[in-house]
């Protein structure tokens, strides 16, 4: 049996649809109610959790495979996994965003940057050799500039409509995000054939 953790929320449905389109029996998932662990008829055991918890389950060997966004991987300090496949879904990107005047404004103090992804934000501004103050927000990060808490934000942009609705714009794109299939290193040793079979199926090669 292959044990899988799928990130709940936005990408959950797309991952399940992809598995279904590649011939996996997703009926037990489609008809699930509030259950968090489901076993399918073709030997998959699936749990659904918050993005960071998917990494925790994989790190502790509870699951063999995780389906998780690159954003979560970028923000995490855990790197001891194999990044096996880009599913090409859940596509969006990290960007610095602010009011248009940010580009021409002169700052006589450290800029304040709000983000849910403080590690990504820190690394980005470090790479620019800019010393900024990073302020952690848990969500609705666009509020940072709107309420005057920060000069800019580092956040996920998909359609850009949240930025637009709040008068903000992309100042600079940082990096692309999509959903990845990651694998526990020990699992790849002991369940190599099953895992590669799944990769082939997801690649449409079987
Ligand atoms: N517009 C988007 N905003 C945020 N995440 C997106 C977007 N589009 C795709 N994603 C991907 O979906 C994943 C899950 O996002 P989702 O918003 O469902 O959960 P979350 O980030 O844990 O937020 P919440 O705390 O609201 O549950 C993200 O990690 C990212 O990889
Ligand atoms: O470019 P868009 O298509 O508008 O998508 C981007 C928005 O979606 C995400 O927020 P989410 O809805 O997950 O809520 P949150 O801000 O509370 O995390 C992200 O943080 C942006 O706010």
CA 81 to chain centre: 15
Render pLDDT for 114-149 as a digit per residue (tens, 0 to 9): 999 999 999 999 999 999 999 999 999 999 999 999
Look-up of token digits 């709000």: 114
Same domain, 173 and 96: yes
What is the 107 CA–ligand 1 centroid distance (Å)?
32
pTM over 0.90: yes
Question: Is any atom of ligand 1 closer than 6 Å to the C-beta of 90?
Answer: yes
How many distinct structural domains can be found in the chain? Answer: 2
Same domain, 172 and 184: no
What is the 9 CA–ligand 1 centroid distance (Å)?
7
Same domain, 21 and 75: yes
Full domain range(s) for residue 164: 92-177
Same domain, 80 and 96: no
Same domain, 45 and 122: no
Same domain, 117 and 55: no
When pLDDT is averaged across residues 84-93 and rounded to a whole number, the result is: 98
Same domain, 146 and 166: yes
Same domain, 79 and 19: yes
Same domain, 102 and 169: yes
This complex has an ipTM of 0.95
* Contact residues for 204 (Cβ-Cβ < 8 A; gap 6+): 22
Same domain, 80 and 7: yes
Question: Is any atom of ligand 1 closer than 6 Å to the C-beta of 158?
Answer: yes
Q: What angle do CA 45, 50, 55 make, to 5 degrees?
A: 70
Render pLDDT for 28-72 as a digit per residue (tens, 0 to 9): 888 888 899 999 988 999 999 999 999 999 999 999 999 999 999
């Amino acid at each position: 049996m292959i044990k899988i953790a799928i990130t709940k929320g936005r990408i959950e449905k797309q991952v399940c649809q992809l598995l279904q389109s590649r011939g996996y029996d997703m009926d037990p998932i489609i008809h699930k109610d509030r259950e968090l662990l489901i076993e399918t008829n073709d030997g998959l055991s699936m749990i659904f959790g918050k993005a960071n918890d998917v990494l925790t389950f994989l790190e502790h060997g509870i699951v063999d495979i995780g389906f998780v966004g690159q954003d979560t991987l970028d923000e995490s300090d855990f790197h001891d996994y194999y990044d096996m496949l880009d599913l090409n879904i859940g596509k969006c990107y990290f960007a610095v965003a602010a009011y248009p005047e940010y580009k021409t404004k002169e700052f006589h103090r450290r800029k304040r940057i709000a983000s849910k992804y403080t590690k990504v934000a820190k690394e980005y501004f470090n790479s620019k050799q800019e010393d900024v103050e990073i302020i952690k927000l848990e969500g609705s990060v666009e509020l940072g500039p709107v309420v005057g808490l920060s000069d800019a934000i580092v956040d996920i942009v998909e359609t850009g409509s949240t930025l637009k609705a709040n008068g903000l714009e992309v100042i600079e794109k940082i990096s692309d995000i999509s959903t990845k299939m990651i694998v526990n290193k020990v699992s790849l040793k002991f369940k190599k054939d099953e895992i590669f079979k799944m990769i082939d199926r997801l690649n449409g090669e079987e």
